[in-house]
Chains A and B, each alone.
Chain A
Amino acid sequence: MKHIEDVKTLFRNATIHTNPARDRTILAEAIDAGGLKTSQRPVRGKANIWRRTMRNPVTKLAMAAAVVLAVVVGIYGLGGSQPAFADVVKPMLAAQTATYTLVAHMGHGQTIRGQVQFKEPGFVRQVAEFGSGPFPQLIEITNPVEGKKLVLMPARKTALVVDLKNAKPQSDQSRAFQQFRETIQRAQEGADGSIEYLGRSQIGGRDVIGYRFTEGSQGITIWADAQSLLPVQIERTVGDDTESLSMVMSDIQFDVPLDPSLFSTAMPEGYTAQSMQQDESPAAERDLVELLQFWSESTGGHFPTALDKTMFEKVDEILRVRGVRPDKTKGLADPAIRAFLGGTLKVTRAHEFIQALPKETDWHYAGKDATFGDATKPVFWYRPPGSATYRVIYADLSIRNVAPESLPQ
């Protein structure tokens, strides 16, 4: 730091990000405190105000001035037409490699910070920082060509080698970046005009323009440099207010050279290896059955209250009830931790299956009050695409094809 200019550069580069969930809370509080209102009013009321306003020559003139101002400098940008969304997302859709910083705010208050490096056709290296605890840092390397995932826990010199059974180059648990690109593509292809231009703002002293769109319960905001149109920051929120996950991607770079050794799954010297099999084939009905079996065995015959994310939190709880006490200081050598991971994996696969079911499958879950073994009690049913009948899973975990008119009411 030889020059004052270096200090100034440090000031410019010293960035700060915010938790989108907290942003919403603070905004809601301030909007409420200030009695502010959104512009979404009933059409009729709007027309009445407009008529009253336009009858008055003074307000008519003021309104005309405001409209001109709004058109020129309003939310749709300044000094020309807004950049096309396609131009903003093009670099990330075409990138062969990508690197970025990811800050994830989990629904239960935990924040994880990580560095992600991605390389086609699905190589991923993620370094996740958890702050404190027995595993403050995890390094996860996914190598789809070797069909392996290597998880390193440097604090305890422990490594987990995951055999990605049935892995495909484009399909693995670490494909967050790929999934994100697919979401953007779908948004681009959507003809409903749901991509909203947010206008100009500033991030870290840089002039940026923003776009926002939603897909299901997922909201994505992309801020790009106003000049180069390269993405500067991407914010994703998944879920609702009660159960949400938000992620902020920053320091985004595309097509930077990434050494192949970054994605090597060779065991580093001094590490103790554990191995684990992970099924990376698309989640299917059998995964749900396996989860229901695991759950009923672990709880004395009960099934999950709901097939949602709350299952993840309850895995620890039900294993404890069964007398399994994970000792986090032992790492993966602890059978209890392996049981916990196994349970979590079952929840993950079943959850994936449920999430992937299209709305038309008309799926229902009624396992909350069911007890394992009752062959007459349906706990889950859905109609596979193109099928005339429903697949019904009963509380004894048998499966039958049932005509729509014979379904439980």
Chain B
Amino acid sequence: MYYIGKESSPGQTRMLEERYLIWRFKHGSAEAFERIYERHKNDLLKLAVVLLGDVHAAEDIVHDVFVHVAQTRTGLRVTGNLKGLLATSVVNRARNYRRDAYRYRHSLAQQEEGGSSDSFEPQQWAIVSEQLQLLSAAMAQVPYEQREAVALHLGAGISFPEIARIQNASVNTVQGRCRYGLQKLRSLLNSEATT
């Protein structure tokens, strides 16, 4: 039971607000969907960019997630928080994308050639900051499971138990992946800074 008023914490009120938002969205409110979209789009794009290192693929994936969520709203079951559900959708699609070996190698090859993953093109959706470009390039060299754990935890603010559910692993394993991933990332970024 949450008490509404001065006694409720910001976390509780945020949760209540989100539940109400989801309720309105499931009942067909376009305004509620717009608020969900505005609230989560940047974090989801950031997550997809650091997972894939390809802005265009990230755009496609997050675009697809929002359309899919809207299409399936009546059957939407949010057991944790909405952000976790949306992040899971992004992670699943990113995994599918990586399984398509040709596309993945193609995008890596583009990056190695100094390709256009961060260049501006007509109708580009996401504009990536220099820090995110740097981060994304370093993350591409972190083993994928560690990358996923780090991206979900730091990029999307997902809790370890939730990541454990997404990765189908124990919380300890996820914490370990995150730790090793961060160490690897720090080492990569240090070598980047000294070259």
A interface residue numbers (CB < 8 A to B): 1-4, 6-8, 10-19, 21-23, 26-27, 29-31, 33-39, 66, 68-70, 72-75, 78-79, 103, 108-111, 113, 131-132, 198-205, 248
Contact = CB atoms under 8 A, between A and B. Distances in A.
A73 B126 contact: no
A19 B123 CA distance: 8
Given A69-B20, A110-B120, A16 B67 contact: no
16 contacts: A4-B186, A11-B155, A15-B131, A17-B127, A19-B124, A26-B37, A34-B28, A36-B30, A36-B73, A37-B30, A68-B4, A72-B4, A79-B10, A103-B127, A110-B120, A202-B39
Contact of A27 (B34, B43, B155): B34
A134 B158 CA distance: 44
A34 B190 contact: no
Interface residues of B, number: 60
Interface stretch (B11-19, B84-92, B97-105, B161-169): B11-19
B30 A18 contact: no
A69 B16 contact: yes
A249 to B, nearest CB: 12
Contacts of A33: 67, 70-71
Contact of A16 (B14, B70, B127): B127
User: Of residues A18, A38, A39, A70, which shows the largest number of chain B Cβ atoms within 10 Å of its Cβ?
Assistant: A18
Interface in B125-152: 125-129, 131-132, 134-135
A64 to B, nearest CB: 14
Contact of B29 (A14, A30, A36, A110): A36
Given A37-B28, A73-B16, A110-B122, A27 B37 contact: yes
Nearest to B184: A7
Interface in B19-49: 20, 23, 25, 28-31, 33-35, 37-39, 41-43, 45-46, 49
B147 to A, nearest CB: 12
A292 to B, nearest CB: 32
Contacts of B49: 16
Contact of A14 (B14, B37, B46, B121): B46
Contacts of B1: none
B127 A19 contact: yes
Contacts of B119: 131-132
Interface string B103-125: 00000000000000001111111
Interface SS, B side: helix
Interface of A, helix, strand, loop or mixed by DSSP:
mixed
Contacts of B122: 108-110
A21 B70 CA distance: 19
Given A7-B182, A7-B189, A34 B70 contact: yes
Contacts of A36: 25, 28-30, 33, 70, 73
A306 to B, nearest CB: 24
Contacts, number: 171
A359 to B, nearest CB: 31
Given A14-B135, A33-B70, A36-B33, A70 B20 contact: yes
A158 B121 CA distance: 27
Contacts of B190: 1-2
Contact of B67 (A17, A29, A199): A29
B33 A78 contact: no
List the 6 shortest-distance A-B pairs measured between CB atoms, nearest first.
A109-B122, A34-B70, A14-B132, A30-B70, A111-B120, A36-B30
Given A22-B123, A74-B20, A132-B119, A34 B73 contact: yes
Nearest to A101: B129
Interface in B50-97: 63, 66-67, 69-71, 73
Contacts of B4: 68-69, 72-73
Contacts of A205: 157
Contacts of B8: 79
Interface of B: 4-6, 8, 10, 13-14, 16-17, 20, 23, 25, 28-31, 33-35, 37-39, 41-43, 45-46, 49, 63, 66-67, 69-71, 73, 119-129, 131-132, 134-135, 154-155, 157, 182-183, 185-186, 189-190, 193
Given A36-B70, A73-B20, A75-B35, A17 B126 contact: yes
Nearest to B133: A14
Contacts of A201: 35, 38-39
B124 A22 contact: yes
Given A13-B131, A17-B126, A30 B183 contact: no
Nearest to B132: A14
A113 B23 CA distance: 39
A35 B28 contact: yes
Contacts of B121: 109
Given A15-B132, A26-B67, 9 more contacts: A2-B190, A19-B124, A26-B63, A27-B66, A30-B37, A30-B67, A34-B70, A72-B16, A113-B120
Contacts of B189: 1, 7, 10
Contact of A8 (B28, B46, B154): B154
A103 B126 CA distance: 11
Contacts of A26: 37, 63, 66-67, 125
A31 B30 contact: yes
A68 B33 CA distance: 21
B126 A16 contact: yes
A30 B20 CA distance: 20
Contacts of A21: 123
B131 A113 contact: no
